Amino acid sequence: MELTKEEALRDLYNLILNEDTRDWERSVLISTKNALETNENLKIQLAGLEEKLRPLAIRNNLTGDVADFYSKIVGEAVEEERFDFSKHRIKDYKHQDYAVFGGGCFWCMVEPFETKKGIDSVLSGFTGGHTDHPSYDQVLSGATGHVEAVEIIFDTRLISYKELVDLYWQLIDPTDDKGQFQDRGNQYRPIIFVRNKQQRKIAEESKKKVIESGRYKQPVVTEIQPTSTFWPVENHYQQFYKKNPKRYKRIKRYRQRFLLYQRLKGEVRMRYKKVKKE
């Protein structure tokens, strides 16, 4: 379904006023809006806008709402499923709890947890920083002190916090505090955020076991910090693995290969040490 001029102008106005829209995006959107207001040809103007946005769209590097608008003007179906933020809350304080983990880009941290039995909700967002209501770009710049993270609500009758922590170690490189895998920067460093003494004890004991396992040549640098305000990221970035399955599979494959290679090196090193002692 093609956009009408009225629909295009409405979307352009909203994107221009959107605080998350980047300055460069806003400049090309304003240029297109001004041209349409002077009765320039709609198809020609949208084609020109598409050409300007295309390089960033190909790399999936447009801000969320601009990316959705780009999908509209190229005729792709826009993801209709919306994350229901109102449902991400604890309803049963006796049998529900929450956990927060920072393990690199939140795109790859949702699916491994969300597909486990006993997980009620997984929310992507930012935490651990010093700026209220941080935008995606602000966190990406590293200036706010936040890390990308996931907040998990789980049913304690079906899965324990210890099981979540054990899974977490399988998803990250605990020796890298400058980022994770292809994602570089402090906003991607691995951190376990604990909300009480019980979670801290479990996390610290688990980290100790990882260190004592001898699997890693480099020091285990994953931090353990108290939880702080968790700021959800906008809908566009929620449940990335469902909205962008092909790209997610490529990223996941890269991470899995790296972790497998790292584990194999650890096993070889441990066997060598064992033989050497004998």
Residue 105 is a catalytic residue: yes
Neighbour-count burial of 28, counting CB atoms closer than 10 A to its CB (0-12 exposed, 13-18 middle, 19+ buried): middle
Measured CA distances, 158 to 110, 164, 273 (Å): 18, 11, 39
- One-character DSSP codes across the chain: -PPPHHHHHHHHHHHHH-TTS-HHHHHHHHHHHHHHHTT--HHHHHHHHHHHHHHHHHTT-S-HHHHHHHHHHTTPPP------GGG-S-S-TTTEEEEEEE-S-GGGTHHHHHTSTTEEEEEEEEES-SSSS--HHHHHHT-S--EEEEEEEEETTT--HHHHHHHHHHHS-TT-SSEETTEESGGG--EEEE-SHHHHHHHHHHHHHHHHTT--SS----EEEE----EEPPGGGTTHHHHSHHHHHHHHHHHHHHHHHHHHHHHHHHHHHHHHH-
Tell how far CA 126 is from the center of its chain. 9
- From the list 105, 122, 164, 233, the catalytic residue is 105
Task: Give the catalytic positions in this structure.
Answer: 105
